[in-house]
Chain A
Amino acid sequence: MHIHRLEKVWLIIGVVMLFIFLGVLGIGAFAMGMQPPTGDHTIDPEKVSETYPFNNPGLEQIGDNEYNAYMIAYAFGFTPAKMEIPLGAKVHFQVTSPDVIHGFQITGTTVNLMAVPGEVNHYTYTFDKPGEYLVLCNEYCGAGHEYMATTIIVK
Chain B
Amino acid sequence: MTATAIQASAADNRPFDAKDGKLVIAHLLVAFTALLIGGIAGLLQGLVRGGVIELPSELGYYQILTAHGVLMALIFTTFFIIGFLYAGISKTMGGKLIGVVNRMGWAGFVLMTIGTILGTIMILANEATVLYTFYAPLKANPFFYIALVFVVVGSWLAGFGIFTQYRYWRKTNKGKISPLFGFMAVSTMLLWQIATIGVAITVLFQFIPWSFGWVEKINVMISRTLFWYFGHPLVYFWLMPAYIAWYVCIPKIIGGKLFSDSMARMAFVLFILLSVPVGFHHQLMEPGIAPIWKYIQVILTFMVVVPSLMTAFAMFATFEQTGRAKGARGLFGWLKKLPWGDVRFFAPFAGMLVFIPAGAGGIINASNQMNALVHNTLWVTGHFHLTVATTVALTFFGVAYWLIPHVLGRQLTPKVNKLGIIQTIIWLIGMLFMSAAMHTSGIMGAPRRTAFTTYGDHPDSVLWMPYYVVMAISGTILFIGVILMCYNIIALMRAPKGDANTVAEFPIAEKADAAEPTPRWLERWGVWVGLVIVVVLFAYSIPFGDMLINPAPGSKPWVTW
List residues of A whose CB falls within 8 A of some B CB.
Answer: 1-4, 6-7, 10-11, 14-15, 18, 21-22, 25-26, 28-30, 34-46, 75, 99-101, 103, 105, 107-108, 110-114, 116-122, 132, 134, 136-147, 149, 151
The contact of B455 among A11, A100, A117, A134, by CB within 8 Å, is: A134
CA distance A32 to B291 in the complex (A): 14
- Whether B290 lies near A25 (C-beta < 8 A) is no
Complex: A22 Cα to B561 Cα, angstroms: 41
- In Å, the complex CA distance between A42 and B306 comes to 38
Minimal beta-carbon separation of B263 from chain A (angstroms): 7
- B263 surroundings in chain A (CB, below 8 A): 1, 3, 7
Q: Return chain B residues, CB-CB under 8 Å to A26.
A: 295, 368
Bound: A3/B309 CA distance, A: 14
Q: Is B137 an interface residue (CB 8 A)?
A: yes
Q: Which of A10, A112, A119, A146 contacts B288 (CB 8 A)?
A: A119
Cross-chain contact A2 with B137 (CB below 8 angstroms): no
Q: Determine the distance from Cα of A137 to Cα of B35 in the docked complex, in whole angstroms.
A: 30
Closest-by-CB residue of B relative to A8 is: B313
**B141 at interface by CB-CB < 8 Å:** no
Which B residues are in CB contact (< 8 Å) with A108?
Answer: 445, 460
**6 pairs across A/B with beta carbons < 8 Å?**
A34-B369, A37-B372, A134-B461, A136-B447, A141-B138, A145-B449
Determine whether the beta carbon of A143 is less than 8 Å from that of B561: yes
Q: How far is the CB of A144 from chain B (nearest CB, A)?
A: 8
Task: Kindly state whether residue B58 has any CB partner on chain A within 8 Å.
Answer: no
The residue that A118 contacts in the complex, of B455, B516, B552, with Cβ under 8 A, is B552
A149 to B458, CA, bound (A): 10
Contacts of B372 in A (CB 8 A): 36-37, 110-113
Would you call A36 and B453 a contact (CB within 8 A)? no
Structural contact, A138 and B310, CB atoms closer than 8 A: no
Contacts of B62 in A (CB 8 A): 140, 142-143, 145
| Contact across chains for A7 and B317 when beta carbons are under 8 A apart | yes
Which residue of A15, A40, A132, A151 contacts B290 across the interface (Cβ within 8 Å)?
A: A40
Provide the bound-state CA to CA distance between A41 and B221, in Å.
13
**Chain B positions 97-151 with a Cβ under 8 Å from a chain A Cβ:** 131, 135, 137-138
CB < 8 Å neighbour of B449 from A118, A132, A140: A140
Q: Tell me the bound Cα distance from A82 to B259 in angstroms.
A: 61
Contacting pair A105 B447 (CB below 8 A)? yes
Give the chain A neighbours of B460 by CB distance below 8 A: 107-108, 134
B397 to chain A, nearest CB (A): 29
Q: How far is the CA of A130 from the CA of B184 in the complex (A)?
A: 56
Contact B458 A151 (CB under 8 A): yes
**Contact B302 A22, beta carbon cutoff 8 Å:** yes
Bound CA span A116–B558, Å: 13
Quote the shortest CB–CB distance from A99 to chain B (angstroms). 5
Q: Which of B60, B286, B299, B455 contacts A116 (CB 8 A)?
A: B286
B453 touching A25, Cβ below 8 Å: no
> How far is B377's CA from A2's CA once the two chains are assembled, in angstroms?
43
B519 within 8 A of A: yes
Knowing A10-B313, A112-B376, the reply to whether A149 touches B456 (Cβ < 8 A) is: yes
Q: Closest chain B residue to A104 by CB distance?
A: B285
Q: Say which size band chain B's interface belongs to.
A: 35 or more
**A-facing mask of B431-452, CB < 8 A → 1, else 0?**
0000000000000110111111
B287 within 8 A of A: yes
What is the bound-complex CA distance between A2 and B260, given in angstroms?
A: 9
Q: Which of A29, A99, A103, A140 contacts B291 (CB 8 A)?
A: A29
Chain A residue at minimum C-beta to C-beta distance from B138: A100
User: B residues near A, CB below 8 A?
Assistant: 60-62, 65, 131, 135, 137-138, 219-221, 224, 260, 262-263, 266, 284-291, 294-295, 298-299, 302-303, 305-306, 309-310, 313-314, 317, 363, 367-373, 375-377, 444-445, 447-453, 455-456, 458, 460-461, 513, 516, 519, 550, 552-556, 558, 560-561
Establish whether residues A143 and B60, one from each chain, have CB atoms under 8 Å apart when the complex forms. yes
CA distance A43 to B369 in the complex (A): 25
From B135, B285, B317, contact of A113 by CB (8 A): B285
Q: Are B291 and A138 in contact (CB under 8 A)?
A: no
Bound complex: CA A108 to CA B561 (Å):
29
Known contacts: A14-B306, A26-B295, A118-B554. The answer to whether A38 contacts B290 by CB under 8 A is: yes
B286 near A121: Cβ-Cβ < 8 Å: yes
Task: Find out whether the CB atom of B295 lies under 8 angstroms from the CB atom of A1.
Answer: no
Q: Which of B221, B305, B456 contacts A18 (CB 8 A)?
A: B305
Residue from the list B221, B310, B513, B558 in contact with A100, Cβ < 8 A? B558
Interface residue from B317, B445, B560 paired with A4 (Cβ < 8 Å): B317
**Inter-subunit contact A22/B458 (CB<8 Å):** no
Question: Complex formed: what's the CA distance from A40 to B549 in Å?
Answer: 13
Complex alpha-carbon distance, A111 and B138, angstroms? 24
CB-CB < 8 A to B314: which residues of A?
A: 7
The smallest beta-carbon distance between B81 and chain A, in angstroms, is 27
Residues of chain B within 8 A (CB-CB) of A110 are: 369, 372-373
Residues of B within 8 A of A146 (CB): 61, 450-453
Q: Is the CB of B363 within 8 A of A21?
A: yes
Q: Which residue of A lies closest to B289 (CB)?
A: A38
| Contact between B294 and A36, CB atoms less than 8 A apart | yes
User: B309 touching A2 by the CB < 8 A rule?
Assistant: no
Nearest first, the 8 A-B pairs at minimum CB distance are A142-B560, A39-B287, A107-B445, A118-B552, A138-B376, A138-B447, A146-B453, A121-B287
Partner of A39, one of B219, B260, B288, B444: B288
CA distance A110 to B284 in the complex (A): 13
> In whole Å, how far is B204's beta carbon from the nearest beta carbon of chain A?
21
A99 / chain B contacts, CB cutoff of 8 Å: 137, 558, 560
A116-B450 contact in complex given A7-B263, A25-B295, A134-B455, C-beta closer than 8 Å: no
CA A136 to CA B287, docked complex, whole Å: 18
Add 20 more A-B contacts to A25-B367, A142-B561 (CB < 8 A): A2-B516, A18-B305, A28-B368, A34-B369, A35-B291, A36-B371, A38-B290, A40-B290, A110-B373, A112-B372, A113-B287, A118-B219, A119-B552, A121-B286, A136-B455, A138-B375, A139-B135, A139-B449, A142-B560, A143-B561
User: Which B residues are CB-close (under 8 A) to A145?
Assistant: 62, 449-451
In angstroms, Cα B557 to Cα A45, docked, is: 12
Which of A2, A35, A139 sits near B262, CB closer than 8 Å? A2
Taking the closest CB of chain B, its distance from the CB of A43, in whole angstroms, is 7
Whole-angstrom CA separation of A38 from B369 in the bound complex: 11
Residues of B within 8 A of A10 (CB): 309, 313
